[in-house]
Structure 1
Amino acid sequence: MAFTGKYQLESQENYEEFLEAVGLLNAKTDCKVVTDVVQDGNDFTWTQTIPNRTWSNKFTVGQECELETMTGAKFKAPVTMEGGKISIQFPQYFFTAEMIEDKFIMTCITPGEKGVVFKRVNKRI
């Protein structure tokens, strides 16, 4: 499956601005993020690990799913995939994830005229 794999942060843009926009001013910005994705058709298990915290979401593309934010808040949203790109409307931002060659790219966009575009590039480990 296209997304299945374990990935480590390679680079990121606007992370501190994104954390500020979503109210996570005290979050660590220099930590090693590892993302483990298991894809079985349209079913995904998505686990992110940072020092002292791990959270996981299970979802099915094309269905409304209960998900958890990085702060532990739970919410429900539909998960869609178009052109190989997963999209989810989180409470405070719009999230997409896609594979471009061997890189796992995640993008979060906060709303509004001065919305922040946070991009994280991950490499397979």
Structure 2
Amino acid sequence: MLSKTIFDFSLTYPQPINSLYTMAFAGKWETETQEGYEEFCKLVGIPDDIIAKGRDYKLITEVVQNGNEFSWSQLYPTNKSVTNKFVIDQECDMETIGGKKFKATVTMEGGKLSTEFPKYHHTSEISGGKLIEVRVALWQKMVCIRRERIKEVWAVQVMFYVFFPFRPQPWAQLC
């Protein structure tokens, strides 16, 4: 039975370079806390040895922002770096840590960056001086939507029981 599959971690700016910088996302960020890491990684198919290496790793994210143009780099536990460059609301080429290339459009709504990766939905925002990133596995979207439509809960639960060998979990209310 699967448990929490939302991968949520927050990052803090380790040392302010300029307190007057105008671009909210710009800077170098280091992992402070994360929740659901292992379950999320297993769900999207990351090998166990890579999961083990990354469990306590302080992921470094570096963001260069020039208006609506971004360069978003992440250094992973394997010392692999992935950089994705994009312009808000324009289709671009992106890459996953596994090297899979895909087309995506990053949008911004209410100060949150949002995009669809091949196996999950990714949002990023600045809140309380922290970069908050939330990744929700694509098949879990139904769980998040389910919370908004109480009447449809029972129909969705029946589908889960019929087609999947697990029950929806109480943590789905976090969506």
Q: TM-score normalised by the shorter chain: which range applies? A: 0.7 to 0.9
Amino acid at match of 2:76: I
User: What are the ranges of 5 or more consecutive residues in structure 1 without an aligned counterpart?
Assistant: 118-125
TM-score by structure 2 length?
A: 0.63
1:59 equivalent to 2:81? Answer no
**Percent identity between the two aligned chains:** 48
Equivalent in the alignment of 2:113: 86
Alignment of 1:43-122 (within 5 A): 43-51=69-77, 52-110=79-137, 111-112=139-140, 113=143
Shift of 1:32: 2.1
Structure 1 SS opposite 2:132: strand
Query: 2-side partners of 1:93 and 1:70: how far apart?
Result: 13
**5+ long unaligned stretches in structure 2:** 1-22, 144-167
Structure 1: how far apart are the matches of 2:76 and 2:100?
17
Q: 2:62 aligns with which of 18, 36, 41?
A: 36
One of 33, 40, 55 as aligned partner of 1:18:
40
Q: 1:4 matched to which residue of 2? A: 26
**Rg larger in structure:** 2
Give the whole-Å Cα distance in 1 for the aligned partners of 2:34 and 2:97.
17
Q: Specify which structure has the bigger relative contact order, considering alpha-carbon pairs within 8 angstroms and separated by 6 or more residues.
A: 1
User: 20-29 or 84-93: which moved more?
Assistant: 20-29
**Deviation digits for residues 17-68 of structure 1, max 9, x if unmatched?**
0000000032222222100001100000001012421110000001111101
Instruction: Report deviation, 1:78.
Output: 1.1
Structure 2 counterpart of 1:98, one-letter code: E
> What is the aligned residue count?
117
TM-score (norm 1): 0.87
Counterpart CA distance in 2 for 1:13 and 1:97 is 15
The structure whose residues are more often helix, as a share, is 2
